[in-house]
Amino acid sequence: MGTYAEKTSVSISKTKADLEEMIIRAGAEQFVSGYKENTAMIGFVMANRQIRFILPLPDRRSEEFWVTPAGRKRRTADTAYAAWE
């Protein structure tokens, strides 16, 4: 997986809330979001059209999140989640 937004400090929940607010302000009549395994989805209805974005997510179980960059130390579940996020 690439390094896009690797150093961002904005949480997933804040980003999702901002995105929902922006879509509703733009006139969306419906909004839905969710995730399953390694896929996230955002959908909405605007101007009588259904729009859906399906986004791949990195695997939370990947070693890159559970081992420090030097590869010498195993992370805790909390720090692995923070690295994934």
Domain locations in the chain? Answer: 12-84
**Euclidean distance between CA atoms 25 and 35, whole angstroms:** 23
The pLDDT of residue 66 is 84
16's CB contacts (< 8 A; 6+ apart) are 33
Q: What is the Cα–Cα distance from 18 to 35, expressed in whole angstroms? A: 17
pLDDT in tens, 5-45: 666 677 778 888 999 999 999 999 999 999 888 899 999 99
Cα–Cα distance between 37 and 85 in angstroms, integer?
14
Average pLDDT over all residues of the chain: 85
